[in-house]
Structure 1
Amino acid sequence: MAVKSEEISRSHGKSTPQKRRLRSNADVVIHESPVSSPSKRKSPRRCVDSSPNTPTNGIEKLEKECKSPVKKNTSNNFSEKPNWNPRDIKQTSAVKEALHLSTAPSSVVCREDEQKRVFDFCKTCIEQEKAGSLYVCGCPGTGKSLSMERVKQCLVDWAKEAGFQPPDVLAMNCTSLAKTSEIFNKMMEKTLPRKKIDGSTPPLQHLQNLYSQQQQSLNSKMMLIIADELDYLVTKDCAVLYDLFILTTLPFSRCILIGVANAIDLADRFLPRLKSLNCKPMVITFRAYSKDQIIRILQERLMAVPHLVFHPKALELCARKVAAASGDMRKALCVCRSAIEILEAELRESTSNLTSFSTDKRQKTSIACIKTQENDIVRIDHMAVALSKAFRSPIVDTIQSLPQHQQIILCAAVKFFHGAKKDTTVGELNKSYMEICKSAFIPPVGIFEFLNMCIVVADQGLLKLGQSRDDKLKRVILKVDEADVTFALQGIRFFRNCLQ
């Protein structure tokens, strides 16, 4: 009753419908408490990790933003978008820019767990005013550098909100150093920017003296050092690498060192030595992106574009191939941009061919047919050609160089083995081959010629034929991955329809 009286007094005695009153109440709550309050629900894990004085940080916000699954994103964000116009230069430029490597995404998705581990490590160091070292490793294109940039910003924001002194941040790419020992010069410039340093004393010795004396270290702020491409510091004696990690173990050190490198085995090679020096870092590994993660990242980037550019199956084909090959997100972005260029080239060629016969009414009708919904987006065949250029393999080249009937045999084998079956007989495979030929109005070959073609395909290493007195009872096994056959034949409409 008290709540209702307050609502009536706010509205000056005017009653409002219940639904509208509830919405206005929600707005009031949002404006009155922008920072998370104890009354809001928290997950058990978040309640354990967070302290009563710790406000909501950027990592938790990022976790909330990225809870929706891939299928939900596809249905909500892509099917409702209108098709783009690939002939529009502005639209094309906007799409290519969204998929460019130099374009930083609005949010770093699919790396929430890794980012939270790095963030919690740095947060603990700042709260306890203790130094520490962290080694972040993973294959190229797995979001390490983007995640460190995100964590750096979230850490500075958290320190300001929590009442801690924000750390000095030194982020560098080690490949830009003229020599490996120059990293200590940069650390000294960040630690003592206004103080004149004696040129006779090396910067490393200055830092060692600073972090060995309590009175001097108390006057300095915590320093977050993000050293990207850390494996560049690996030399014959590795003295610089060891000295850098040793700085975090000095009694009054203020350094939080995060080393980032592509070499996964770097920690294994140097951990024994670092462990003996009592400066073993905590290791966080960024694994290669999976198919679902690649689709999700591509969708996040394409959300900045108000049009439907790619067919969902085309994005799935790209994600499957890249995930199976390397999981490198940079490769997926390059392939998508290449697929757009292939579509542009196709449209230019078709338009030039058809406009030359503009006097024919049938040709005019064909020009109108080109501007259909299907042709205005990047299809599977465009993506297959782009992937073929990016991932040339001997198996794909062999399949694409086969005669048509031998390709039909492989297509029939893929369709036959699509279920739980792993092998079949020549006779059963011949039936599947005959069905494909009949559906496409292609005259099939006889059983003996069919057997000879199977032998030729087996000699190429694509099939395996067993032994039997009756040729029709010989066992047939597909020796290559079904995805390679699908990928090699996807650019041909006839085979694309057969394999769907």
Structure 2
Amino acid sequence: MSANSLRKRAFVYSDDAGENLDVCPPSPTKKRTPSRRTSELFRRTAETHRLVGREAERKTIREFCENHILVPKAGSLYISGQPGTGKTALLKEVMRDMEREMKDVEHEVKTATINCMTVKDPRLVYQKLLIEMGYVAESKEKDAAIKSLESLVLKSNKKKIMYVVVLDEIDQLLTKDQDVLYKLFEWASTEGSKLTLFGIANALDMTDRFLPRLKARDCEPQLLNFNPYQVAEIRAIIMDRLFSLEDDTKDESNGKVEGKDKSETGKPRVAPLMQRAAIELCARKVAAATGDLRKALDICRQTIEMVELETRKKERLEKRQSLPQRGLAPLSEIRLANLENQVAGSSENATAARRQSGSFADAVSSKAAKLTLQDAPKVTVEHVKKALASAFGSPVVQKMKALNVHQKIVLAVLVMKIQSGKTVDCEVGKVFDHYTTTCRSSNKIGAVNRGEYQDLINMLEANGLITLGKSKEERLRKIGLVPRESEVLDATRGQDILDTILAKAGVKMDATDM
């Protein structure tokens, strides 16, 4: 065995390795700690037993389903709202709650759900819908899928059926002539149609800006807007997830925001694992910044993991201090040369070292797992402050988030040029040409003229986000990007138009300080 491999093994088993004492994955049979179970509840992918709040929106969606799916009668509902406001989750929950009612009606109900972000070409959505409904286009002609789908939803036949289509991120189907969206909304508004359409997107005024002909043709969908979450709602959702770990709240399912943090006597209940002040701070900061529930859940998960890490480090330190008292020498005192000789002569000593290291980590994790919800350390205000600073980034990122979309596109163009190594082309005129091409390729937003572009450049310079060099001609002035590329990407991430532009340009979205 080589000396290099011995050194690697000595490092893993050495007490000096610190965190490497937990390199061995825990046994599947080990009990998870309360912090670990709670952290999983706050993951974005976690399935909760109910959605708290949004009672007015829930009622509107349910009434629409009753009037159009159960009857049946074709129609369309456009659901808008900022990211993280619960649009998709609430619609899924209402549809899930109504499954039995849909099965009991005389007609058949077929549901197709598509996230339009996964559709490369808007016209391919017809074929994808056919597949989701269990059909295929009868021929390979270009418009075969359109004709097949139109025949299904518009032509009358003896079989009673209602096709329910849910298109998430529907604004991804926008094209120059909006032909795809016009067809779908018109089909859902045609007399005798068998299509009920749900469109979900972030833009509140999408139908007004991009589909003006819908009003003229009397095809305008019913509108439902989700406002950003308020402090009380975010606080109630966090408390609900924490209380869901306790046995006495497992059967509660009324879904109301009010009263969830009160006991039967009317006194405030003490939430496990998070101090009430920490919950309040998280709710207030997120509500003031974005109202994005996902951000609040991320912060809670991060702070709970912080506390668990601190607890494990403390227990590990206590365990190390107790080892010499029991006659066990710390592993760091095993010299590398001695370990090499022992392994060269026999594997028994190395095995003993591994066993001692493993038993040490087991003792630490088992102690943490024995903690109850009431005994486990709690997240404090200081933990939340650290997570908030990480979640909302630097003041520069916040400043860029407040810019209009054209200013953000200019910054994104600069990032594209830097990543492609074309910094020599960062001149006012060439950046304008690139900006115009980028807007044109997006099919979603028109470029401003040269005069307006110059105003954008001057405003970016005034905000300290770019630098402008000197030149006799304005178009030849050099532009320099002040923020880091990663900060620009953080400021533009999560906005549909910018995400599409950056994805088409092949920009590395995980850029760090490069």
How does the TM-score come out when normalised to structure 2? Answer: 0.53
| Structure 1 runs not aligned, ≥5 long | 1-86, 361-370, 398-500
Question: Counterpart of 1:58?
Answer: none
Q: What one-letter code is carried by the residue in structure 1 that aligns with 2:224?
A: I
Residue 224 (str. 1) matches residue 164 (str. 2): yes
CA distance in 1: counterparts of 2:279 and 2:132, whole angstroms: 45
Question: Counterpart of 2:480?
Answer: none
Contact 1:134 1:258 in 2 (8 A): yes
Residue 234 (str. 1) matches residue 174 (str. 2): yes
Q: What one-letter code is carried by the residue in structure 2 that aligns with 1:98?
A: L
Cα distance per residue 1:204-248 (max 9 Å; x no partner): 12333444433x3x4251011110111111122221111111111
1:38-437 equivalences in 2 (<5 Å):
89-161=32-104, 163-189=105-131, 193=135, 197-200=138-141, 201-214=143-156, 216=157, 218-306=158-246, 308-351=272-315, 376-394=377-395
Structure 1 residue 271 displacement after superposition? 4.5
Structure 1 residue 145 displacement after superposition? 1.1
Q: What one-letter code is carried by the residue in structure 2 that aligns with 1:157?
A: R
Question: Counterpart of 1:455?
Answer: none
Structure 1 residue 384 displacement after superposition? 1.5
Cα distance per residue 1:429-474 (max 9 Å; x no partner): xxxxxxxxxxxxxxxxxxxxxxxxxxxxxxxxxxxxxxxxxxxxxx
Structure 1 residue 273 displacement after superposition? 2.3
CA distance in 2: counterparts of 1:376 and 1:192, whole angstroms: 52
Q: What one-letter code is carried by the residue in structure 1 that aligns with 2:287?
A: A
Structure 1 residue 139 displacement after superposition? 0.5
Aligned length: 298
Q: Percent identity?
A: 34
CA distance in 1: counterparts of 2:316 and 2:149, whole angstroms: 68
Contact 1:114 1:286 in 2 (8 A): yes
| Structure 2 runs not aligned, ≥5 long | 1-29, 247-270, 326-370, 399-514
Query: For 1:134, what is the secondary structure of its paired residue?
Result: strand
How does the TM-score come out when normalised to structure 1? Answer: 0.54
Go from structure 1 to structure 2 and tell me whether the alpha carbon gap of 1:236 and 1:395 turns closer, same or farther (over 3 Å shift).
Answer: closer
CA distance in 2: counterparts of 1:356 and 1:199, whole angstroms: 70
Contact 1:123 1:155 in 2 (8 A): no
Cα distance per residue 1:388-442 (max 9 Å; x no partner): 2212454999xxxxxxxxxxxxxxxxxxxxxxxxxxxxxxxxxxxxxxxxxxxxx
CA distance in 2: counterparts of 1:309 and 1:133, whole angstroms: 43
CA distance in 2: counterparts of 1:250 and 1:101, whole angstroms: 38
Contact 1:222 1:255 in 2 (8 A): yes
Go from structure 1 to structure 2 and tell me whether the alpha carbon gap of 1:122 and 1:89 turns closer, same or farther (over 3 Å shift).
Answer: closer
Q: What one-letter code is carried by the residue in structure 2 that aligns with 1:197?
A: E
Contact 2:188 2:195 in 1 (8 A): yes
Contact 2:154 2:194 in 1 (8 A): no
Query: For 1:231, what is the secondary structure of its paired residue?
Result: helix
Contact 1:230 1:261 in 2 (8 A): yes
Q: What one-letter code is carried by the residue in structure 2 that aligns with 1:387?
A: L
Cα distance per residue 1:115-170 (max 9 Å; x no partner): 22111112111344321011001011111111111121223322334x44341111
Cα distance per residue 1:236-284 (max 9 Å; x no partner): 2221111111111233210000001112231331352211232100110
CA distance in 2: counterparts of 1:97 and 1:250, whole angstroms: 46
Contact 2:186 2:219 in 1 (8 A): yes
Structure 1 residue 348 displacement after superposition? 4.4
Q: What one-letter code is carried by the residue in structure 1 that aligns with 2:107?
A: Q
Go from structure 1 to structure 2 and tell me whether the alpha carbon gap of 1:96 and 1:127 turns closer, same or farther (over 3 Å shift).
Answer: closer
Q: What one-letter code is carried by the residue in structure 1 that aligns with 2:306?
A: I
Which is bigger in relative contact order (C-alpha 8 A, separation at least 6)? 2
CA distance in 2: counterparts of 1:196 and 1:338, whole angstroms: 48
Query: For 2:98, what is the secondary structure of its paired residue?
Result: helix
Go from structure 1 to structure 2 and tell me whether the alpha carbon gap of 1:116 and 1:172 turns closer, same or farther (over 3 Å shift).
Answer: same
